Amino acid sequence: MTLWYSHVLDAFHVPTHRRCASRWYARCPAHDDRSPSLAIWLGRNGDRLLVGCWAGCNKRDVLQQAGLKMKD
């Protein structure tokens, strides 16, 4: 079964099964990230995928570096 957001996780090189609690973690492509500081999680209704870098990188920069856009 392919999840609707699997292409986004693929862009960040995160296997869909590697989930920690309700989030996935990856290395942020917008800065020299040595340990996973990018969190990816489903929104409240499960219809959106949210991303946030704990180092403070701009979301648009993070997505651009991964080859994604906000609509993805």
Q: Count the neighbouring beta carbons within 10 Å of the beta carbon of residue 60.
A: 12
Contacts 24+ apart (CB under 8 A), 12-17: 12/38, 12/40, 12/66, 14/40
Helix ranges, the chain (H)? 6-11, 59-65
The strand pairing partners of 6, in sequence order, are none
Q: What is the pLDDT of residues 28-59, one digit of tens each?
A: 999 999 999 999 999 998 889 999 999 999 99
Q: Global pTM?
A: 0.86
